Amino acid sequence: MDFSNNKKTALSKSDKSKKGSIDIHILQLIDSINASDSYFSTSSCSGRIILIREGERKNEADWEFVSHELVEYNDLHNAIAKLADRKNVWLRFEPPIVHISCKTLEDAQKLLDISRPLFKVSGIISTQKNIVEIRSTERIDVPVEAMSEEHLKIIIDLANSKLQKGWNKINQLEKEIVKII
Amino acid sequence: MDFSNNKKTALSKSDKSKKGSIDIHILQLIDSINASDSYFSTSSCSGRIILIREGERKNEADWEFVSHELVEYNDLHNAIAKLADRKNVWLRFEPPIVHISCKTLEDAQKLLDISRPLFKVSGIISTQKNIVEIRSTERIDVPVEAMSEEHLKIIIDLANSKLQKGWNKINQLEKEIVKII
């Protein structure tokens, strides 16, 4: 495995994510990672507020609403009002997540050591490809069925606050990463 | 580092968890892991339904309710009714989690490979001690403030169903683990 060739190939590919581009709030972190000879990012999300309908089977899910930015009450209220059926629909805040390919296992451990104090659910998910998954614990997972409007308001405030907290953590991690690369 | 001495020391220590004993639904998995020369578990939880008041600072949290078993509506309804203040209190389902110390990094990767299809947030969290963290994605995280009784009923049904799903996954993982150890 030639790390620098793999990196070149990976970074030249088009963005295959649902969104099709890197979130603005994580762009500086991704740029700093990719500027290093020892690391490159393979996927990332700066955190998002979503409405998702879960299907019976795994991977069967309909996305009803997605925002990587702060949301207003009306945005979500309207999205929920449009649902034909609220059953199996979840309102979620999902925290930032980044996958990083590292040149050596030592590079992976070094990255993990600076990431885990901020992003506590981080780990090495492949020792063959030295992939580190960085993820934090903050979450909201609420079934939409029977949720009151008053409750929705409180949840939106909390989701917005967690979104901003995630951006702050991304910035802190970027500052730590530039010290080691 | 002598793995078998570390294992002996770790398994002879008293249980330092809040609960003070291994959850019954994960006992067979832990026994199978500890019966192997290449692995031992350092901590585990079979999943739990909790009420927790978050403090201003990290690690400042009051546990208002904890159940590792299925819950009845009245159990949680009464626990919530007793709260002096619902602000910053969260009703959560937390999925099973296991930490396993592995003899070699290869043993860690082997364990990770069979764990990730079932427990998607698993990773190696230390390459010095070859610790694998096994954790699944299923969660519920609902702020209690302004939650209606009707909503609580729906959330409890979902939490109980996720708890049982977690136990099934633990049993499936145990079956996979005995194949490789």
Report d(CA A125, CA A135) in Å as an integer.
12
Supply the angle between the helices B27-34 and B149-180 in degrees, to the nearest 10: 20
pLDDT at residue A106 greater than cutoff 90? yes
What does the pLDDT read at residue A1? 56
What does the pLDDT read at residue A20? 78
Residues ≥6 apart with Cβ < 8 Å to B84: none
C-beta of residue B42 within 8 angstroms of C-beta of residue B10: yes
Higher pLDDT, B80 or A58: B80
What does the pLDDT read at residue B58? 65
What percent of chain B has a predicted confidence (pLDDT) above 70?
A: 99
pLDDT at residue A136 greater than cutoff 90? yes
Contact state of A141 with B145 under an 8 Å Cβ cutoff = no
What is the torsional sign of CA B8, B13, B14, B17?
negative
pLDDT at residue A138 greater than cutoff 60? yes
Q: Which residue of B has its CA nearest to A157?
A: B143
Residue of A52, A102, A120, A124 to mutate when probing chain B, most B C-beta within 10 A: A124
The beta-carbon neighbor of B121 closest among A121, A126, A142 is: A121
Mean per-residue pLDDT over chain A, rounded: 94
The beta-carbon neighbor of A146 closest among B125, B145, B154 is: B154
Higher pLDDT, A34 or A21: A34
By mean pLDDT, which of A12-16, A56-60, B109-113, B119-123 is the weakest?
A: A56-60
Strand B48-54 to B61-67 pairing: antiparallel
What does the pLDDT read at residue B56? 75
What does the pLDDT read at residue A142? 98
Torsion of CA A48, B98, B177, B24, to 10 degrees: -120
What does the pLDDT read at residue A5? 93
Q: What is the DSSP letter of A14?
A: P
What does the pLDDT read at residue B65? 97
In B, which residues are within 8 Å of A133 by CB distance?
Answer: 123
Contact state of B145 with A154 under an 8 Å Cβ cutoff = yes
What does the pLDDT read at residue A15? 79
In B, which residues are within 8 Å of A122 by CB distance?
Answer: 123, 125
Q: Work out the number of other CB atoms within 10 angstroms of the CB of residue B73.
A: 12
Q: Report the predicted TM-score, pTM, of the whole model to 2 decimal places.
A: 0.93
In A, which residues are within 8 Å of B126 by CB distance?
Answer: 109
What percent of chain A has a predicted confidence (pLDDT) above 70?
A: 99
Task: Tell me chain B's radius of gyration from C-alpha atoms.
Answer: 18
What average pLDDT does this structure show over B99-114? Answer: 97
Report d(CA B34, CA B133) in Å as an integer.
15
The beta-carbon neighbor of A145 closest among B146, B147, B154 is: B154
Report d(CA B52, CA A67) in Å as an integer.
28
Confidence of residue A26 (pLDDT cuts 50, 70, 90): very high
Mean per-residue pLDDT over chain B, rounded: 94
> Helices marked H in chain A — which ranges?
3-12, 27-34, 73-81, 105-115, 149-180
SS3 string, chain B, reads CCHHHHHHHHHHCCCCCCCCCCCHHHHHHHHHHHCCCCEEEEEEECCEEEEEEECCCCCCEEEEEEECCCCCHHHHHHHHHCCCCCCCEEEEEECCEEEEEECCHHHHHHHHHHHCCCCCCCEEEECCCCEEEEECCCCEEEECCCCCHHHHHHHHHHHHHHHHHHHHHHHHHHHHHHHHC
C-beta of residue B104 within 8 angstroms of C-beta of residue B132: no
Size of chain B in residues? 181
Report d(CA B78, CA B68) in Å as an integer.
17
**What confidence tens digit (pLDDT) does each residue in A158-171 have?**
999 999 999 999 99
Distance from CA of A165 to the nearest CA of B (A): 13
> What ipTM did this prediction achieve?
0.92
Among A159, A41, A45, CA closest to A96 = A45
Q: Work out the number of other CB atoms within 10 angstroms of the CB of residue A129.
A: 14
Among B126, B69, B138, B57, CA closest to B97 = B138
In B, which residues are within 8 Å of A150 by CB distance?
Answer: 146
Distance from CA of B156 to the nearest CA of A (A): 11
**What confidence tens digit (pLDDT) does each residue in B19-73 have?**
778 889 999 999 999 999 999 999 999 999 999 999 877 677 899 999 999 999 9
Residue A179's identity, in one-letter code, is K
Contact state of A127 with B142 under an 8 Å Cβ cutoff = no
Confidence of residue B1 (pLDDT cuts 50, 70, 90): low
Residue of B124, B131, B138, B165 to mutate when probing chain A, most A C-beta within 10 A: B124
In A, which residues are within 8 Å of B150 by CB distance?
Answer: 146
What does the pLDDT read at residue B181? 84
Q: Which residues of B lie inside 8 Å of A (Cβ-Cβ)?
A: 105, 108-109, 112, 116, 121-128, 133, 135, 139-143, 145-148, 150-151, 153-155, 158
Confidence of residue A60 (pLDDT cuts 50, 70, 90): confident
pLDDT at residue B18 greater than cutoff 90? no
Report d(CA A154, CA B10) in Å as an integer.
44
Confidence of residue A149 (pLDDT cuts 50, 70, 90): very high
Confidence of residue A21 (pLDDT cuts 50, 70, 90): confident
Q: Which residue of A has its CA nearest to B138?
A: A141
Which tokens is B36 given? 């192997």
Cα three-residue angle B8-B11-B17, rounded to 5 degrees: 155
What does the pLDDT read at residue B13? 85
What does the pLDDT read at residue A16? 74
What does the pLDDT read at residue B16? 73
